[in-house]
Structure 1
């Protein structure tokens, strides 16, 4: 029985992506076609055929429904189709977790997790529904029936202008500054570090645009304390990863990457987090809301923060990365700023090389699934910022919302 379970242990065996661009720069191919492109590349990277895939999973209400992709891509049979309930970028690692559960339980043999996001063809995430084409003299606001629980929960905050993600996540970051003395310069050093990593990555949207701390400090204030370079990119693109059993993985083209452990969830009473909920416990308000989940994750793997060689933290905003560093135990509460200041996140010489692809701040914002892709590349020795001898990689999904995370291991 134990041997049979080991044979079904989930591994990532392929990764693929479309080109990444700024939002609105992909007009000659649909978002749906981008999803197909990324999936096909990931399956090819794994050395598999599309007819061997029998599961598809995604998150963040991806518009590219599994049943249509299965038909168009030629799957012999769709045995597992899954969409994560963790909201937005909080669900990327949860989709990996759900796919792993599917292959380990025998529900499927080969599952592709994908995310296709073409903001230029639909709407811009984080804009609170505001359109860049809005008239300069709009009609007076009127009462509207909320068409989702999210909008209903935002109803008491929207009249005061809390419409966009940059403002919502500025609140816990500003609270962290108040409690612990965290500075804008410390946040800026994080952005500069990730941009330096992107400089070696040909896939990175901002790879050819160096960033200094002076540039960061001179950039426009978006929502205090978030300056322009504290905010993630707005991107068009798609990526995908292929998950299957250890038994199947050992005969495939590339070195398999083991999913050591996965977790997903949210603290008590958290709802959507600071974006919509002003009643979050004060003890966790100036955190990423991930501490309890992080402890479960490391406990499940039998590892601790000291065992992690490289990390890919979801970086929608710099302050959220800082709070995750504390949540996941890489430094004490309130010490995230000095930890960043020490150079710990740098590829060369850092104690915890982080976002070696440039992350959402400098590679692309694909709701964090590209962080899983980079985690796999790092452990396969294929990263453009390689971490010699890396054996364990932590990948996280969004902080300050219900979230998820995985620990990946080199075979």
Structure 2
């Protein structure tokens, strides 16, 4: 293993989540209700009182389901938090999920807060699949909407087609991602889908945005997830083994910009990619490691081809070789990490467990490093969690086992 030079000055001390629901099943609850449930569960897991919380680190501008909004004031009043000393949110969408833990770290290291909660709650009251078509026409969207690109899936299909054209990637690779992810969900009690997915089922599924079929899309689920972050010293005195933050990074280059919402990327490595390579480079440099040192990867999987492109951007295989890498079985879960492979989305990810805009991946990273994961990678010491691909900021997070 490379020399781990991560700072490890803060740690995740508690995690909590509501059950994961089918779209529409939480209509009798508010966003604040769902978020509050998750926050209370995370505080109980850590062994702290919710009144100890003095910071909130959001992402996606605290939007929930891209239609609702989580308000810091409502959460503080509802939960009885004495005083909020820090509240901030990363811009963009799910690309900031991993980076929100870096935002929490910044508050703690700066002395602005001591116990920071990151929370995402999701209710799908609006149809996310057509969110592009329902927006007001702008000079930018006028180049997108008339082309029939109504939602994220249509937009992702173009990036996918480019990768297929440029590198010879086939749908077999996307099928392997969907099938292996589903396999990981079978043993997860809370997973939304716990029936095996076969290759025959995958290729027989209806096409939604060619070449993306039903099983290439993440779930439309509801629920909430919360994470408690505090100083490493305090975390060591709490209920659970601390999971140190080794490194965190967020941002992105101008070339990626608004990503699949505008297609202004130049026709080079940036276009047929996930836009995460600059994040990966900074993340590994801060941690003092390489991709080969990662034991388990929790890759943001709103669409299966973007898992493949992130595997390339994060250095698990070379650019353009994601298809053969995946088809070799390299991302399949085994208790012992295979040489040259990397277990991916051991919890079932957003394709099969639940879609809560990236937050479930952080929970799985914590459980892997506590040694309590359902699909535990033996001796896991470093976990990668990614956010995005979406409009910048994209983000990445490396979690470690306490020394």
Matched, 1:215 2:201: yes
Taking the TM superposition and a 5 Å limit, the aligned residue runs for 1:3-14 are 9-14=9-14
Find the counterpart in structure 2 of residue 344 from structure 1: 330
- How much has 1:28 moved relative to structure 2? 2.9
TM-score norm. by structure 2 comes to 0.92
The 8 Å contact of residues 233 and 362 in structure 1, kept in 2 or not, is answered as: yes
C-alpha distance in 2, partners of 1:367/1:145? 24
- How much has 1:322 moved relative to structure 2? 0.2
SS across alignment from 1:19 = coil
The 8 Å contact of residues 345 and 352 in structure 1, kept in 2 or not, is answered as: yes
Match of 2:148 among 141, 161, 178: 161
C-alpha distance in 1, partners of 2:330/2:132? 37
- How much has 1:173 moved relative to structure 2? 1.1
Find the counterpart in structure 1 of residue 278 from structure 2: 292
The 8 Å contact of residues 255 and 264 in structure 2, kept in 1 or not, is answered as: no
SS across alignment from 1:283 = coil
Taking the TM superposition and a 5 Å limit, the aligned residue runs for 1:383-402 are 383-402=373-392
Matched, 1:405 2:396: yes
Number of matched residues? 386
C-alpha distance in 1, partners of 2:199/2:44? 41
Find the counterpart in structure 2 of residue 50 from structure 1: 50
The 8 Å contact of residues 294 and 382 in structure 2, kept in 1 or not, is answered as: yes
Matched, 1:315 2:318: no
Would the alpha carbon gap of residues 400 and 177 (structure 1) be closer, same or farther in structure 2, given more than 3 Å must change? Answer: farther
Could you list the runs of 5+ residues in structure 1 that have no partner in the other structure?
1-5, 132-143
- How much has 1:129 moved relative to structure 2? 5.5
Match of 2:186 among 199, 203, 210: 199
C-alpha distance in 2, partners of 1:282/1:247? 45
C-alpha distance in 1, partners of 2:192/2:88? 30
Taking the TM superposition and a 5 Å limit, the aligned residue runs for 1:2-401 are 9-61=9-61, 62=63, 63-85=69-91, 87-119=92-124, 122-128=125-131, 153-207=140-194, 209-348=195-334, 350=338, 351-401=341-391
SS across alignment from 2:273 = coil
Moved more, 153-162 or 362-371: 153-162
CA RMSD of aligned residues (A): 1.7
Would the alpha carbon gap of residues 152 and 76 (structure 1) be closer, same or farther in structure 2, given more than 3 Å must change? Answer: farther
C-alpha distance in 1, partners of 2:94/2:7? 31
- How much has 1:68 moved relative to structure 2? 1.6
Which deviations, in whole Å up to 9, do the C-alpha atoms of 1:295-353 show, x marking residues without a partner? 11000000100100001000011110000000000000111011111111111165211
The 8 Å contact of residues 7 and 246 in structure 1, kept in 2 or not, is answered as: no
C-alpha distance in 2, partners of 1:227/1:39? 35
C-alpha distance in 2, partners of 1:410/1:335? 31
SS across alignment from 1:169 = helix
Which deviations, in whole Å up to 9, do the C-alpha atoms of 1:271-313 show, x marking residues without a partner? 2102223344433100111112101100000010010000100
Would the alpha carbon gap of residues 266 and 195 (structure 1) be closer, same or farther in structure 2, given more than 3 Å must change? Answer: same
The 8 Å contact of residues 8 and 104 in structure 1, kept in 2 or not, is answered as: no
- How much has 1:205 moved relative to structure 2? 0.5
- How much has 1:164 moved relative to structure 2? 0.6
C-alpha distance in 1, partners of 2:302/2:140? 21
C-alpha distance in 2, partners of 1:67/1:184? 46
- How much has 1:162 moved relative to structure 2? 1.2
TM-score norm. by structure 1 comes to 0.90
C-alpha distance in 1, partners of 2:265/2:232? 44
Find the counterpart in structure 1 of residue 3 from structure 2: none
The 8 Å contact of residues 51 and 74 in structure 1, kept in 2 or not, is answered as: yes
SS across alignment from 1:127 = helix
- How much has 1:130 moved relative to structure 2? 5.8
SS across alignment from 1:285 = coil
- How much has 1:242 moved relative to structure 2? 0.3
Which deviations, in whole Å up to 9, do the C-alpha atoms of 1:250-282 show, x marking residues without a partner? 100001101100111111243210222334443
C-alpha distance in 2, partners of 1:277/1:168? 9
C-alpha distance in 2, partners of 1:191/1:19? 22
The 8 Å contact of residues 53 and 111 in structure 1, kept in 2 or not, is answered as: yes
SS across alignment from 1:37 = helix
- How much has 1:8 moved relative to structure 2? 8.4
SS across alignment from 1:155 = helix
